[in-house]
Structure 1
Amino acid sequence: MKFFRHRHICLPALVLAISVAGCSSADDDATAAVPSPDAAVVKLCRNLDGALPKKLDGQGRTDPEPASALTAGWGSPAIILRCGVPRPPKMIDPKVAEGRDENAVAGGVDGVDWLQEKADDGAFRFTTASRVAYVEVVVPAERDSTSALVDLAPAIKSAVPKGIAD
């Protein structure tokens, strides 16, 4: 009889401990809005998800919430990839093409063309250009963007064909 009485007392404490642990670990998880592209782009993004490296900039893959084949993440602070995003407005801005925008520049890394945009917090957002789907990579200020783009290039080249999106 004593066994049951102690079990009832301990069960609420165990539930409380599990709830608190669950809340504290979720606070550290990265989040990313999941894009909603058309079916053809979703297929490309799923292929990309399967080709992505396990490590990026030396950090293991830790995907953001909510879980999706259209998003991926590595390390902390997380480098976040989103596949199937809309074309960024700066991609068609003549100031960027002419090199007159101090916060955006076009360039390429290992055969993948990118639009690079600098955020106020020092982070960089890179969006693929000349590919049939737009892939966005956000690299926090503390992380090495060049290494990340070099690590991602083989997967992007194999999964997302060259062409014009939209």
Structure 2
Amino acid sequence: MRAAVVLLVLLAVAGCGGAVQVEPPAPQGAAATACAKLGPLLPQTLGGAQRTTSSPESPYVAVWGEGEIAVRCGVGRPVRMAPTDQLQEIDGVGWFADPDRSTLFTAITDVAYVETTIAAGHVAPEILARLSGAIGQVTSAKTG
């Protein structure tokens, strides 16, 4: 439900210009350390969209375009993810695709969960592949 609220906020501000409003997570300990390292490793251009600022600014959030792609590092475990769910592995990072929301993907790692929202019109596997490299650099990825 919380992810749905984040998406609605992103969609509400799309086209408004300026910073995109995204609720930042509040990771603790090793997750906070890994997430702080992730931000600078993320690309400036993703899916043809330029990286922009979020409001409030946070080292745990990255946004491209007018909110069509957003990354939140240090979120909670996906509510819809069952222990038996298979993850899609991309470059050593396991991704959970939310069965109820085709635009929501979460990287499942030993250190932190990294939530990614990708608007329609973008090729999700390409976006996830670009993000997996950076995520893999700062976390130890689980594959199952």
Distance 2:26 2:52 in 1: 21
Distance 1:77 1:47 in 2: 22
Task: Check whether the contact 1:44–1:159 (CA below 8 A) recurs between aligned residues.
Answer: yes
RMSD: 2.5
Match of 2:96 among 104, 111, 115: 115
The equivalences for 1:65-104 within 5 A come to 65-92=55-82, 94=84, 97=85
| Per-residue CA distance 1:102-158 (angstroms, 9 max, x = gap) | xxx6312222110011556xx511101233100000001122212211111110010
Q: State whether structure 2 residue 46 is matched by structure 1 residue 56.
A: yes
Q: Secondary structure at the match of 1:113?
A: strand
Any stretches of 5+ residues in structure 1 without a counterpart?
1-25, 98-104
| Per-residue CA distance 1:48-93 (angstroms, 9 max, x = gap) | 0121111111221113211110000112352000000000122225
Deviating beyond 3 angstroms after TM superposition, the runs of 4 or more aligned structure 1 residues are: 26-29
Matched positions, count: 130
Task: Check whether the contact 2:81–2:98 (CA below 8 A) recurs between aligned residues.
Answer: no
Structure with the higher strand share, 1 or 2: 2
Structure with the higher helix share, 1 or 2: 1
Task: Check whether the contact 1:132–1:163 (CA below 8 A) recurs between aligned residues.
Answer: no
Task: Check whether the contact 1:80–1:139 (CA below 8 A) recurs between aligned residues.
Answer: yes
Structure 2 residue identity aligned to 1:69? P
1:30 is matched with which residue?
A: 20
Match of 1:129 among 105, 108, 111: 108
Identity %: 31
So what's the TM-score if we normalise by structure 2?
A: 0.78
Q: Secondary structure at the match of 1:27?
A: coil
Distance 1:60 1:88 in 2: 27
Any stretches of 5+ residues in structure 2 without a counterpart?
1-14
1:154 is matched with which residue?
A: 133
Task: Check whether the contact 1:113–1:130 (CA below 8 A) recurs between aligned residues.
Answer: yes
So what's the TM-score if we normalise by structure 1?
A: 0.68
